Homo-oligomer: A and B are copies of this chain.
């Protein structure tokens, strides 16, 4: 995907190479709110992602040192994912982004449909 994007150059390009891409920031956001999530929990929180892609994203984040993988050899096995100290440094940025997202969602809701809300309110 990202052509060279994460290899060198300016720090901004480098960090974007690590956290960009489909689902990646969303995974970070979920982990940054929950402290620790199991593979199956992440999978359930992101219904549209396949196991293959989720594994791939987690491995890459682990490789970048942003996510910690804690494998417990129970039967069946249990794996906990959490942010590393470095990964946790993204919390502020992700929270800021979420605030913008909430603001936009509210604005769009006011301007557009509110399709269900109106119907409910009218009854």
Chain B residue nearest to A3 (CB atoms) is B48
Question: Considering the chains assembled together, what is the distance between the CA atoms of A98 and B14 in angstroms?
Answer: 10
Q: Is A81 an interface residue (CB 8 A)?
A: no
The interface size bin for chain A is 20 to 34
Q: Which of A71-79, A99-107, A112-120 contacts B (4 or more CB under 8 A)?
A: A99-107
Interface string of A1-29 (1 = CB under 8 A from B): 11111000001111110001111011001
The complex is assembled from copies of this chain, and their number is 2
CB-based contact A25/B20 at 8 Å? yes
Contact of A13 among B26, B89, B102 (CB under 8 A): B26
Which positions in A face B, CB cutoff 8 Å? 1-5, 11-16, 20-23, 25-26, 29, 48-49, 86, 89-90, 92-93, 96-98, 100-105
Q: Give the 9 A-B residue pairs with the shortest CB-CB distance, closest first.
A: A11-B101, A15-B101, A11-B105, A2-B22, A93-B96, A93-B97, A11-B102, A12-B101, A3-B48
